[in-house]
Chain A
Amino acid sequence: MQKNWFSIALILCLSLLFLVNAGYSLLLVYQSQSEIKTFLNPANTYPMLYHITVLLPESNDPFIEQLKTSIEKAVTADNGAVEFLFYTQQNSTADSAVSSKAEELFNLALNANVDGIIMFFSQAEYISSYAKRAKQASVPFTAIAMNYSSAADSYYVVSSDSYAQGKYAIQEALSVLGNSARIGIIVPYSTTDTVDSASFLNGAKTALLEHGKGKISAVIFEGDPALQGEEAGFTLFHNKPDINVIICSTAHISMNTAQLLIDKSLVGKILLIGSDENSEISRLLEKGVFKATIIRNADAIGKAAQKLIMEQIQKTGKPIQLSIKPIIKSIENK
């Protein structure tokens, strides 16, 4: 009987443990239930006024990511729900820069009768057919293109200005080197890229003519995959060792070329002008590897696209083509 106290104490301790265990178990079940409830009915979900579908290419180009963020912000700020559908460009042919996947997703958006479609086109000439089909289905449609010049068309288009981008890049180079500028330009080879290479080069050439100084020593087309930008830069140095300016037309080309300059200790000897912006480019700009970067204004493009869609939904506007000028970000004005 002397062991009674010990037994009772032990039983009490174990009972307590039993209860604590049971309680903790219930807590875990509650947490799991909450997680499932969150899964089934997300807590941050709330009704919106309209439904916009945005078709964007699958790309690791920071411009696309910035564009996505910009559209999302603009639509959400206006109490709209935005749905991004990403299409691969693998099935694209030389005849069509729009892949079958993009076509499929566009059909999907039309069949779903969404309140509006925003679609990105790397080649502006394909805009009209999609715009017509959207109009036929009475679905508001806004295209985003890198360069759009068909002012006569009655479509809603927001374009970046690749022409201006090329022009600004040359102006930046000439502002430093003037007559002695021997310029190498690297552009993407693929027509499905988010840059309109032809317009970019046109802009560059126009700027040279306008200023009457400097010259384009070489234009190199970067191949795929993206790492070949480094190889393109290497070829440029090899073929034209006298160049003192390199202009890059995309963010990836810019980063790869910058890496090449660093590796070959050419920073400061060759003027590097990049395109677009991400954290790496900003860092290299801070360090002086880039003289400047010509940024496609994704924020303004996204906002403009949302505005045009809203005008169509509210039937308040008329078809318009907006060209958004790029921004120059240099060491001086960063």
Chain B
Amino acid sequence: MKAKIRNRITLNSLVILIILITATTFTSILSLELTHGIGLLLKNNNTLKSIRDSLDNTHKHLETYLTFKNSESLKEYIKWSSTLESLIPSLNNRIYNDKLLLMERNLYSVLTQYLKTTSTAVNAKRGRNIPVYTAEFEHAVSMVESAHTILDTLHLKNMNRSLYAFDFFKEKFGEIVFINFTLIAIAFVLSILIIYRYSFAITVPITLLAQSARELEIGNFIHSIPQYAHDDEIGTLYTAFNNMQKSIKDAFEAIQKKSELEQQVLVQKMEMLEFQHKLKDSELLALQTQINPHFLYNTLSAGWQLALAEHDERTAEFLQKLAEFIRYALKPANRLVLVSEEVDCAKNMSGY
């Protein structure tokens, strides 16, 4: 027996699973892609925000240091200026024919110059060179203002450009979401169809087999089940069922034959009994035949003559009537008689 149905069920389940996994994976990848896209759109703004935070903190601690000259502010200034310095390379420094990139280049220049200026201011403060650090600080303030202006402009322009790109993205996003839902729906319908198809493929032959079993149950041995072409578990079941049907049919036919034979024997026995009965009757008849009525009549007639000779008329009459009675009685039993004959016989017997 080949386990094809089991293999098919396993295979179909795997197909359904693969369809669902594919649809889900596809949907997940698309969702991730969309999220990634939005992340990219906002990446520049995030970088700008980090730059602004670093710049503001650098400037705040610079101002505190230049005002109070405390080491804590200096440490903070160094920390934030280092952060700012590490962020600057993420900005464009080349000249392109793109207004955003040019604006980034402006920011790059301003921030680079700002860090140089603040460094000079800090060194001047350490050297107690008041005019220099005051002038450098004023210059730094001007550059912070410029940087803020650029950051605000860049934020706005980036956001506008992001929104423009997002509008396009959103349009596609809606379509992609719709398609994903469609894909999931198709995967679902496809899975249902595959399940239905194979459950149908399995249950239909079994149902037909059950119908055949019911026919067999009511003794319809000539009912034949449809052909099942596949060599699988159901095929094996069909073969077994066919064999069983054939066996039952053969057994039934054998019983039927035996019964017929027994009937024939019985009939023969009955015939034998009847024959024996007839034989007995024949024997009886033979015995009856053995009694000679004429002898009896002659005897009775001799008695009658004797009685007459003796003038015994009553005896003579008796013997005459007896003789008539016996003659009547010995007539064949199956002949038709007249009622008057029967009455006469009775009268003879009673002496009338």
Q: Which residues of A contact B (CB under 8 A)?
A: 1, 3-4, 7-8, 10-11, 14-15, 17-18, 21-22, 24-25, 28-29, 31-33, 35-36, 38-40, 42, 44-51, 53, 76, 81, 83-84, 104-105, 107-109, 111-115
**A113 and B109 within 8 A (CB):** yes
**A46 and B96 within 8 A (CB):** yes
CB distance from A322 to the nearest CB of B (A): 26
**A11 and B149 within 8 A (CB):** no
Contact A15 to B190, CB < 8 A, known contacts A32-B169, A51-B105: yes
Q: Which of A17, A28, A47, A107 contacts B96 (CB 8 A)?
A: A47
**A105 and B165 within 8 A (CB):** no
Q: Can you pick out 24 interface pairs between chain A and chain B where the beta carbons lie within 8 Å of each other?
A: A7-B197, A11-B193, A25-B176, A25-B179, A28-B172, A29-B176, A32-B168, A36-B169, A39-B162, A39-B165, A42-B98, A44-B97, A47-B94, A51-B95, A81-B96, A83-B102, A83-B103, A107-B146, A108-B106, A111-B142, A111-B147, A112-B105, A112-B109, A112-B146
CB distance from B36 to the nearest CB of A (A): 9
Complex CA gap A9/B105 in Å reads 61
**B168 and A81 within 8 A (CB):** no
Chain B residue at minimum C-beta to C-beta distance from A6: B197
Q: Which of B97, B204, B205 is most buried by chain A, counting CB atoms within 10 A of its CB?
A: B97
Complex CA gap A45/B161 in Å reads 15
Interface positions, chain B 183-208, Cβ under 8 Å from A, are 183, 186-187, 189-190, 193-194, 196-197, 200-201, 204-205
Complex contacts, B33 vs chain A, CB 8 Å: 29, 32-33
Interface positions, chain B 142-180, Cβ under 8 Å from A, are 142-143, 145-147, 149-150, 161-162, 164-165, 168-169, 172-173, 175-176, 179-180
CB distance from B81 to the nearest CB of A (A): 17
User: Per DSSP, are chain A's interface residues mostly helix, strand or loop, or mixed?
Assistant: helix
Complex contacts, A115 vs chain B, CB 8 Å: 95
Complex CA gap A84/B106 in Å reads 13
**B176 and A45 within 8 A (CB):** no
Complex CA gap A323/B169 in Å reads 50
Complex CA gap A7/B99 in Å reads 59
**B109 and A36 within 8 A (CB):** no
**B165 and A22 within 8 A (CB):** no
Q: Which of A39, A47, A48 contacts B41 (CB 8 A)?
A: A39
Contact of B115 with A by CB under 8 A: no
**A111 and B95 within 8 A (CB):** no
Contact A21 to B182, CB < 8 A, known contacts A14-B193, A35-B168: yes
**B41 and A111 within 8 A (CB):** no
CB distance from A56 to the nearest CB of B (A): 13
Complex CA gap A50/B97 in Å reads 10
CB distance from A23 to the nearest CB of B (A): 10
Complex contacts, B183 vs chain A, CB 8 Å: 18, 21-22, 25
Complex contacts, A17 vs chain B, CB 8 Å: 186
Complex contacts, B169 vs chain A, CB 8 Å: 32, 35-36
**B186 and A76 within 8 A (CB):** no
Contact of B84 with A by CB under 8 A: no
Complex CA gap A324/B214 in Å reads 111
Complex contacts, B96 vs chain A, CB 8 Å: 45-48, 81
Contact A108 to B180, CB < 8 A, known contacts A14-B189, A81-B97, A84-B99: no
Contact of B37 with A by CB under 8 A: yes
CB distance from A84 to the nearest CB of B (A): 7
Q: Which of A4, A25, A76 contacts B197 (CB 8 A)?
A: A4
